[in-house]
Amino acid sequence: MIFYRELKHYNNCKCKAYFSILMLSLFFFASSVFASAKPLYSFQTRSQSQQFDRITHQLRCLVCQNENLADSQANFASDMRGQIYKMVKNGFSDSEIKNYMVKRYGDFILYNPPFNKMTIFLWSTPILLLLIGIIIFFTMVYRKKP
Amino acid sequence: MLNKVSVKYIAPLAIFVAMAILFWRGLSENPTVVPSPLIGKPVPNFSSPSLLFPQKNLTNKIFLGHVSILNVWASWCYSCRAEHPVLMNAKLEDNAIIYGLDYKDKSQAAISWLKKEGNPFQSIINDPKGQLAINFGVYGTPETFLIDKKGIIRYKYIGPISPEVWKDDFLPRIKTLQQL
């Protein structure tokens, strides 16, 4: 409702000014969503920085278990980020760093579950159920009724 | 004897019973507990100073020759205070050999805490940066490991140990491992 009132008197200079201030402040408040309190890690090369981002997005925070290490604000996550930072700077590969974590914390620390014989049903069941559903659908629709 | 009609009636019931059992089992488990991949593996190598005697160096050799408990704790950890009487009792009543891992703590605060609450530990490994804890797969406090005479990790419990957990989960395992 307030916007309708603003729009009606938009031609008025004073209200135009107030309107602009309102929109600008809303924009700045909204963009503060992108600010974060995380310390910024500095890297020698761009590929190291990308590696750090990639790995921290692929590992799970074990305290806030629905978040990855990149986003979580938990102390555990910042400790892990520090460890990953050290390993990236020392030139470890993606798989070496992830294996290091899995060896200590188990498969659950991977944000995406691995594809192996333990998880084969986890990955394939949705597709299988969809296929079964499609098959049932077509057999029901095309069954000849007496 | 199992004709088509009775299968139609029994099948939904059987599926329901199967699902009910799955849910009963699944929902009674704590989903935030992360199972440790270190069970059955030797204690990670370490060499760290003792909290109370900083000139003294502690290594994984401290676990050899007896069944040990390693308790990861900190003076800032509220639940650790809750399980503390259980650890004191375990030492006094059951002669349990308990080592501590002081996790991301200030030494002075930890020492004062022990003076005030009592010290159930044979020795305490000082880990102010939490670096050693990462090798143990620690993600919160308190966490407690059961280690056999050869230094192999046999069991891990996440969360404060209640008297029931000590009696039902730890004591039987300790007794079994002592006889090996």
Say yes or no: B37 contacts chain A, CB-CB below 8 A: yes
If one compares B161 and B12, the residue with the highest pLDDT of the two is B161
CA B84 to CA B48: how far, in whole Å? 23
| B131/chain A closest Cα distance in angstroms | 9
In chain A, the percentage of residues whose pLDDT exceeds 70 is 84
CA A126 to CA A132: how far, in whole Å? 10
Interface of A with B in 2-61 (CB under 8 A): none
Token pair belonging to B112: 């004062």
ipTM: 0.84
- The Cα diameter of chain A in Å comes to 79
Residue at token pair 């006094």: B92
> Dihedrals φ, ψ of B46, to 5°?
-155, 165
Query: Pick from B70, B175, B88: which is nearest to B133 by CA?
Result: B70
* CA nearest to A62 within chain B: B139
Whether the per-residue pLDDT at A12 is higher than 80: the answer is: no
Reduce the secondary structure of A48-61 to three states and give it as a string: HHHHHHHHHHHEEC
Number of other residues whose CB lies within 10 A of the CB of residue B123? 16
Strands B143-147 and B68-73: antiparallel
Name the residue type at position B142: P
Average pLDDT (A4-21) is 70
Write out the H or E segment, with its range, that includes residue A15.
helix A13-31
* CA nearest to A104 within chain B: B137
CB nearest to B140's CB, from A63, A106, A109: A63
Chain B residue numbers touching A99 (CB-CB < 8 A): none
Taking only the tens place, the pLDDT of each residue in B137-147 is 999 999 999 99
Count, in order, helices (H) and strands (E) of chain B.
Answer: 6, 7
The pLDDT mean for chain B works out to 94
CA B83 to CA B120: how far, in whole Å? 11
Query: Pick from B161, B142, B145, B154: which is nearest to B178 by CA?
Result: B154
Q: How confident is the model at residue A38 (pLDDT cuts 50, 70, 90)?
A: low
Taking only the tens place, the pLDDT of each residue in B116-158 is 999 999 999 999 999 999 999 999 999 999 999 999 999 999 9
Say yes or no: A86 contacts chain B, CB-CB below 8 A: no
Average pLDDT (B91-118) is 96
Taking only the tens place, the pLDDT of each residue in B33-52 is 888 999 999 999 999 999 99
What is the pTM (predicted TM-score) of this model?
0.78
Average pLDDT (A90-101) is 95
Is A104 in contact with B34 (Cβ distance < 8 A)? no
Query: Residue A17: its pLDDT value, please?
Result: 83
